[in-house]
Amino acid sequence: MPVDAFARELLDWYDAYARTLPWRGPPGTPPPDPYRVWLSEVMLQQTTVAAVAPHFERFVTRWPTVADLAAAPDADVMQAWAGLGYYARARNLLACARVVAASGWPRDEAGLRELPGVGAYTAAAIASIAFGQVAVVVDGNVERVMARLFAVETPIPAARPLLRAHAATLAPAHRPGDYAQALMDLGATVCTPRNPRCDACPVSLWCAARTTGDPARYPIRAAKIPRPIRHGTAFRLEVDGHILLVRRPPRGLLGGMRALPSTEWSTEPSDWHAAAPVAVDWRPVPGEVRHVFTHFELRLRVMTATLPARPAVPGEWWPVETLGAAGLPTLFAKALRG
DNA sequence: TACGCGTGGGC
DNA sequence: TGCCCAAGCGT
């Protein structure tokens, strides 16, 4: 593999075909604000560009600088993050903003790596994109591109060290930020998981997977495990046009988010009476909410009751007509939609 | 190293 | 429709 030619072809392609995204400037322009780079990279962790873009715009409008974000109340940030998923990111985002507001941005990859919610990938991405430093930026796109370029037969995740080594070999000293984004854009728009567009690929000449005739076979993945099903019951308690919401524990699944009162979610349906916020005449909402999490599928029954006066129970009473602004995780928004 | 951690879109 | 997976991180 001619390393210099590879980077040159990729950067030429990027200069012509780079996606226009709210958090970056055109190819060859000065680095964007580190705040915007960091915020977008955290939002993009395991999350699609389409889902991130509107949230990113709202965040930078409401909190234009890292100091503004650092000064925001936790509840406001969690609410603004609602719907994006992986809510630990929002908690780490605030913790990180407060460190940076107090101490400034670390200027190198090792320092960035110490920040909450900033792992190997994100540290390398910020160092290269915001600070122009040479770094080996390896995300899922880069893994796929490397697996195909070198026709790596070892399954992911065991192949990760090898894929990183290949990426390190190819990383140029010139335009490191644009190069990192070029590789990711290539993976997102040309070297896609299914139906890769090899005809449009600027580096197909050097791609081993293409010569096999089945580039989509790469990367090889370890066999997946079946997703178990859990069952639970949630409670919709209404008094005078208000619904009872609770705050979930700060860590774990949907940690720190507003929620409907609910039973635990277990592999077998179990009695829900003990988990009900009050002992009243609950009526079942017809049907069942199915919601897929990363490692299980939830089937949630909803019980509903309407009372004439508020019982003395923990939680907050939220007006029904503004529930859309409560910042509920998608699961509970679905449960309330019926 | 393996698992826990959300959600939505594409095919 | 069910399945795949997306700019991963923390423990």
* C5 C1' to A318 CA distance, Å: 35
The Cα A163–Cα A144 span in angstroms is 9
* Residue A162's pLDDT band (cuts 50, 70, 90): very high
Which of the four CATH numbers 3.40.50.450, 3.40.50.2020, 3.90.79.10, 3.60.70.12 does domain A229-337 have?
Answer: 3.90.79.10
Cβ-in-10-Å burial (0-12, 13-18, 19+) of A32 comes to: middle
The Cα A260–Cα A258 span in angstroms is 7
What is the DSSP-derived secondary structure letter of residue A266? B
**Residue A117 CB lies within 7 Å of the nucleic strand C:** yes
Which bases on strand C have an atom closer than 7 Å to a protein beta carbon? 4-10
Peptide bond before A157: cis, by omega within 30 degrees of 0?
yes
- The 10s digit of each residue's pLDDT in A204-261 is 999 999 999 999 999 999 888 889 999 999 999 999 999 999 999 999 999 999 999 9
pLDDT of A95 reads: 98
* B10 C1' to A192 CA distance, Å: 12
Q: From residues 34-53 of A, list those within 7 angstroms of strand B by Cβ.
A: 46-48, 50-51
The Cα A302–Cα A262 span in angstroms is 9
How many CA atoms does the CB half-sphere of A237 hold within 13 Å? Answer: 28
Q: Delimit the CATH 1.10.340.30 region(s) of chain A.
A: 3-217
State the CATH class of domain A3-217: mainly alpha
Helix (H, G, I), strand (E, B) or coil at A137: coil
Taking C1' of B8 and every protein CA, the nearest residue is A51
**Residue A178 CB lies within 7 Å of the nucleic strand C:** no
A236 near A260, Cβ under 8 Å?
Answer: yes
How many CA atoms does the CB half-sphere of A224 hold within 13 Å? Answer: 7
A137 near A124, Cβ under 8 Å?
Answer: yes
The Cα A308–Cα A286 span in angstroms is 23
Amino acid at A298: L
**Residue A123 CB lies within 7 Å of the nucleic strand C:** yes
Question: Does residue A41 carry a catalytic annotation?
Answer: yes
Max distance between CA atoms of chain A, in angstroms, equals: 76
pLDDT of A218 reads: 96
Angle (CA) A78-A312-A74 rounded to 5° is 15
* Residue A338's pLDDT band (cuts 50, 70, 90): confident
**Residue A65 CB lies within 7 Å of the nucleic strand C:** no
The Cα A198–Cα A202 span in angstroms is 8
pLDDT of A223 reads: 87
The Cα A209–Cα A144 span in angstroms is 11
Percentage with pLDDT > 70 across chain A: 100
- The 10s digit of each residue's pLDDT in A35-82 is 999 999 999 999 999 999 999 999 999 999 999 999 999 999 999 999
Which nucleotide comes closest to A181 if you measure CA to C1'?
C7
Question: Between these two residues, A116 and A338, which has the higher pLDDT value?
Answer: A116
Q: Delimit the CATH 3.90.79.10 region(s) of chain A.
A: 229-337
A112 near A99, Cβ under 8 Å?
Answer: no
Please state at what angle helix A120-129 crosses helix A34-43, rounded to 10 degrees.
150
Structure token pair of residue A311: 């019982």
pLDDT of A275 reads: 96
Which nucleotide comes closest to A129 if you measure CA to C1'?
C7
Chain-wide mean pLDDT for chain A? 96
Give the CA distances from residue A205 to residues A5, A47, A88, in Å, rounded to whole numbers and listed in that order.
11, 31, 42
Peptide bond before A228: cis, by omega within 30 degrees of 0?
no
Answer whether residue A1 shows pLDDT above 80.
Answer: no
The Cα A74–Cα A250 span in angstroms is 11
